[in-house]
Amino acid sequence: MFDLVIEGGELIDGTGAARRRADVGIAGYKVVAIGLLADQPARQRVSAKGRIVAPGFIDVHTHDDCLLLHAPQGAHPKLSQGVTTVITGNCGISLAPLMTQSPPAPLDLLGTSDWRFDRFADYLDALEQAQPIVNAACLVGHSTLRVKHMQQLTRAATPDECARMAADLASALQAGAIGMSTGVYYPPAQSATADELVAVGAPLTAAGGMVAMHIRDEGDAITAALREALHVGNSLGITTVLSHHKLVGTANHGRSFETLSIIDAAAKTQSVCMDCYPYNASSTMLLPARVHQSSEVLVTWSKTEPLAAGRSLFELAKERNRTPEDVAKALQPAGAIYFAMDEGDVSRIMSHPLTMIGSDGLAHDVQPHPRLWGTFPRVLGRYVREQRLLSLELAVHKMTGLSARRFGLKGRGVLAVGNFADVVIFDEHQVADRASYQQPTRVSSGIDAVFVNGVLACEQGRTVHSHAGRVLRRA
């Protein structure tokens, strides 16, 4: 007797294989049968007629470390998109291990109130106790380790400091962290050398962890930055994820031909992959130096001028008769959206075989980038249905099977007998993002139902169960 049969749908299993007509039988939190199950007894049956049944999506690039600790109110940015698992702690920024009341930028992108875990194990335990809304696998941020272990961030770490950071990482891996993230792009880690990253990341090799890297430069100096990241991953002999791969600045538009060929060449001798989000605008802390590269800059939050959230930096500058850089300085600390990418690069990177989908959403922003609420439906609506850039099967693979394999998430990402029952039912003709730069928190359409570990968690964008997720600790 099944607890649940999802019947009548077209199954896309996450491997990249063609869709097929099949029902999914679930008992407890696992898939126990796939096939034609119409005459099999079940406690509950859900019709997926005319719909796609796929593995729950995996958001490989998130900053949901704090978001997951608190029971959500109303619709949920990730669950409502069909996401059932998130990777936290990206870009060098993880909530643990660090206790502070005033995290320096960009750590403050995670909010300022939850920096209360001296050990990574304590964070994982708290997450488990909170019973998160979706599954979470967690990275340890190198910048977080730096802020914890170094007095002065404007130089490379000494061998002693590297050893202390490495020891902290080793105990986090022991507790179940899946790897390390780095963000040498950002002020707290800009002075870190490749040697420092290799020294701190040393425990990853024996533990079978991985590294996700926000590289040093995504503009003019991107090739050197890519080579540095590939060198670090290769020296450690581990899987390297190049985070939110993109090219910023008009002068660099079209250079994805060059960067992807560097990545392809490296992939012949080392395990490397990347993630991307389906937008031609990026978002992070408000950096005055980034302003000139962008055709438009929208303020996402500002501590000094909260009312600036949602405004154009260039308009504010005009009103005040000052330069946009000056206004950017006056708004600090703050966040922004930068329009500085080329749609051709976005498409080319998204369709590359090594690319997975990750939102990079910032849940604590007042006026966030719409990628927080719209990434996955946008790929399925805009890039699959409208532009036919990818087949639906391939797009789902980039959100599920590929991601689970690269991040070592056992029993996730593929709908197969014995795997966990993380399932999304969606309408391939209706699925679409509705979040925009003006209205960034609108719930996507076409996502009918989402099951997390066999539990119905979301129906038509509405959360119906907030605690079905689990902490996915490294085996």
The CA distance from 281 to 10, in Å, is: 34
DSSP string, 75-141: S-TTGGGTEEEEEES-TT--S-SEE-SSPPTTGGGG-SS--EESSHHHHHHHHHHH--SSEEEEEEE
Least separation in angstroms between residue 108's CB and Zn ion is: 14
Residue 245 touches Zn ion, criterion: CB under 5 A: no
User: How many C-beta neighbours within 10 Å does residue 159 have?
Assistant: 10
Distance CA 265, CA 37 (A): 46
Site map 182..221 versus Zn ion, x via CB under 5 A = --------------------------------x-------
Pick 104 or 411: Cβ nearer Zn ion: 104
- Give 280 or 466: the residue with its C-beta nearer to Zn ion: 280
Dihedral of CA 252/253/258/260: which sign? positive
Task: Considering the complex, state which of residue 298 and residue 316 has its C-beta at the smaller distance from Zn ion.
Answer: 298
Least Cβ distance, residue 61 to Zn ion (angstroms):
8
Q: Is the peptide bond before 188 cis (omega within 30 degrees of 0)?
A: no
Distances (CA, A) of 398 to 55, 200, 294, 404, 415: 11, 30, 29, 9, 14
Closest by Cα among 67, 106, 71 to 88:
67
- Two structure tokens written together for 397: 């693979």
Write the burial class of residue 327 (CB in 10 Å: 0-12 exposed, 13-18 middle, 19+ buried). Answer: buried
Nearest-angstrom CA–CA distance, 385 and 152: 50
Residue type, 91: C
Nearer to Zn ion, 55 or 179 (CB): 179
Q: How far is the CB of 458 from Zn ion (least distance, A)?
A: 27
Q: Is the Cβ of residue 92 or residue 97 nearer to Zn ion in the bound state?
A: 92
Residue closer to Zn ion by CB (options 245, 470) is 245
What is the rounded distance in angstroms from the CA atom of residue 283 to the CA atom of residue 286?
Answer: 8
Minimum distance from residue 244 beta carbon to Zn ion (Å): 6
What count of Cα atoms within 13 Å lies in the side-chain half-sphere of residue 40? 21
- From the list 276, 284, 413, the residue with the least C-alpha distance to 358 is 276
- Rounded least distance, CB 408 to Zn ion, Å: 21
Shortest CB 124 distance to Zn ion, Å: 22
Nearer to Zn ion, 76 or 244 (CB): 244
How far is it between the farthest Cα atoms of the chain? 73
CB of 89 to Zn ion, least distance (A): 11
Residues contacting residue 402 through CB under 8 Å, at least 6 positions apart = 16, 273, 356, 413
CB of 215 to Zn ion, least distance (A): 9
10 phi and psi, to 5 degrees? -95, 120
When the beta carbons of 221 and 265 are compared against Zn ion, the nearer one is 221
Q: With respect to Zn ion, which residue has the nearer C-beta, 76 or 214?
A: 214
Angle (CA) 322-280-111 rounded to 5° is: 70
**Looking at beta carbons only, is 91 or 202 nearer to Zn ion?**
91
Count interface residues toward Zn ion (CB under 5 A). Answer: 2
Position closest to Zn ion via CB = 91
For Zn ion, the closer of residues 77 and 446 by Cβ is 77
Give the separation between CA 398 and CA 248, rounded to whole angstroms: 23
Q: Considering the complex, what minimum distance in angstroms separates the CB of residue 24 from Zn ion?
A: 35
Phi and psi for 6 in degrees, rounded to 5?
Answer: -95, 110
| Footprint (CB under 5 A) of Zn ion, residues 61-100 | 91
Nearer CB in complex with Zn ion: 31/215:
215
Residue keyed to tokens 């007998």:
417
Q: Round to whole Å and give the CA distance between 351 and 8.
A: 30
List residues near Zn ion by CB under 5 A. 91, 214
